[in-house]
Amino acid sequence: MEFEIVQNVIIEVLGVHESEVKPETSFVDDLGADSLDLFQIAMGIEEKFDIELDPDEVKKVKTVGEAVELIKNLRN
């Protein structure tokens, strides 16, 4: 469930195809996201999950799978 929601936020922000967004996908290397894109993705995730992300933790996230794990850890 978390993955699909994160995937939809990424598709909305970056305009990429669903098939490009997998757990191992790198935001920067594979999707070409810049710092503004990453900020918008983080904001979208916060809104969808009604959580607050720690900016220092967000900076460590490199892949979609890592983002999903961060969300799961915050929700537990």
- Catalytic positions, please? 34
Q: Which amino acid is at 75?
A: R
- Token pair of 23 as six digits: 């757990």
- 13: enclosing H helix or E strand: helix 2-14
Beta bridge partners of 63: 26
Backbone angles phi, psi at 26, to 5 degrees: -85, 135
